[in-house]
Chains A and B, each alone.
Chain A
Amino acid sequence: MRQILTALVIGILFGAGLTVSDMINPARVLAFLDIFGNWDPALAFVMGGAIIPSAIAYLVSNRMQKPLLDSRFFIPENRIIDRQLLYGAALFGAGWGLVGYCPGPAIAGLAFGDWQPIVFVIAMLAGMWLHRLSTDLIKTRKSVA
């Protein structure tokens, strides 16, 4: 229960940060991505600001046996850069550049009653589900063969 409440509070903080920094506004994000236009550096300040506490917490976590509310840390240890990672990130970047929404701002943007983030989030879930479906299909084919 404590972990669930913690996750809720952290989600609220995250959503507040996205709103304060105007990252929930796709026009702001696109203005950063549009280097040939009237370039807006805001996203770089947001990224920089976010990396500071996150990096400190990572250094602190290295000196801890376990997190405060769980039995161990769950930090990905995979270091292999494969095509799946690079192509997946590229597909994501293409979608991000088309509209200016990445997952966090789109979900946070549902709060204001606009219809656009609703359409985007439904399509995003469909995309996630399609990926799940395609990996499941490959797995079954492999197990059959």
Chain B
Amino acid sequence: MTSPAPLDPFVALSGGLLIGTAAALLLLFSGRIAGISGMVARATGIADTGISRQQAIAFVLGLPIGALVTGLWVRTADVAVTSSVPLLIGAGLLVGYGTRMGNGCTSGHGVCGVSRLSPRSLAATASFMLTAFLVVAVARFMFMGA
């Protein structure tokens, strides 16, 4: 696995502040938790309760727009992702099913839930973090023998 060049911690922190500000604004303006898996389910009609469908669609559309604008003006995104189709499909299925079953992902549980010290979100975050560490460790020892 080739790691990307180290990212300046202040850049990482400021990106995080932007994400947190977005979550803060959604709470203060619309009273909602900025959970992306929930927004996607709502926008596509897979979930029928929660934020209004138009708001969910607008939010979800905003994500690639924000990425595009930042990519053009601030810095080009250097995306490195596996090209194995079965792996992408397997991971996508797990992420989709798991986030619905566990009611959230990195944003809803990891950012919003942790910042209000929700016991459910703290437990969910511990669960997905530990599994992710484990899966990456297993992949490392299985495929790289190191």
Are the C-beta atoms of A90 and B90 separated by less than 8 Å? no
Of the candidates A72, A87, A88, A107, the one whose C-beta lies within 8 Å of that of B64 is A107
Of the candidates A52, A88, A97, A102, the one whose C-beta lies within 8 Å of that of B135 is A97
B46-61 interface bits toward A, Cβ cutoff 8 Å, 1 = contact, 0 = none? 1100111011101111
Q: How many residues of A contact B (CB 8 A)?
A: 114
Residues of B within 8 Å of A41, CB to CB, are 9
Q: Tell whether A144 is near chain B: CB-to-CB under 8 Å.
A: no
From 112 to 146 in chain B, residues with beta carbon under 8 angstroms from any chain A beta carbon are 112, 114-116, 118-120, 123-125, 127-137, 139-141
How far is B38's CA from A58's CA once the two chains are assembled, in angstroms? Answer: 19
Taking residues whose C-beta sits less than 8 angstroms from the other chain, chain B's interface range is 35 or more
Residues of B within 8 Å of A89, CB to CB, are 98, 102, 104, 109, 123-125, 127-128, 131
Query: What residue in chain A is nearest B79 (Cβ atoms)?
Result: A25
Residues of B within 8 Å of A94, CB to CB, are 94, 98, 131-132, 135
Are the C-beta atoms of B135 and A93 separated by less than 8 Å? yes
How far is B48's CA from A3's CA once the two chains are assembled, in angstroms? Answer: 19
Are the C-beta atoms of B28 and A18 separated by less than 8 Å? no
- With A25-B80, A45-B12, A125-B96 already in contact, the answer to whether A73 and B31 are too (CB < 8 A) is yes
Residues of B within 8 Å of A116, CB to CB, are 81-83, 88
Query: What residue in chain B is nearest A31 (Cβ atoms)?
Result: B3
If over half of B's interface residues share one DSSP class (helix, strand or loop), that class is named, otherwise mixed; here it is helix
How far is B134's CA from A24's CA once the two chains are assembled, in angstroms? Answer: 21
How far is B21's CA from A76's CA once the two chains are assembled, in angstroms? Answer: 20
From 62 to 78 in chain A, residues with beta carbon under 8 angstroms from any chain B beta carbon are 64, 66-70, 72-76, 78
Q: Tell whether A56 is near chain B: CB-to-CB under 8 Å.
A: yes
- With A15-B63, A17-B17 already in contact, the answer to whether A97 and B134 are too (CB < 8 A) is yes
Q: Tell whether A143 is near chain B: CB-to-CB under 8 Å.
A: no
Are the C-beta atoms of A49 and B101 separated by less than 8 Å? no
Are the C-beta atoms of A18 and B19 separated by less than 8 Å? yes
Of the candidates B14, B26, B116, B140, the one whose C-beta lies within 8 Å of that of A36 is B140
Are the C-beta atoms of B131 and A108 separated by less than 8 Å? no
How far is B17's CA from A34's CA once the two chains are assembled, in angstroms? Answer: 24
- With A94-B94, A107-B40, A108-B67 already in contact, the answer to whether A131 and B100 are too (CB < 8 A) is yes
Listed A/B pairs (27) with beta-carbon separation below 8 Å: A7-B51, A11-B58, A11-B59, A11-B65, A14-B19, A15-B65, A16-B18, A19-B66, A21-B15, A25-B80, A34-B3, A50-B23, A51-B20, A76-B103, A76-B120, A85-B103, A90-B98, A90-B127, A92-B98, A95-B94, A103-B105, A104-B107, A114-B81, A116-B81, A128-B96, A130-B97, A131-B97
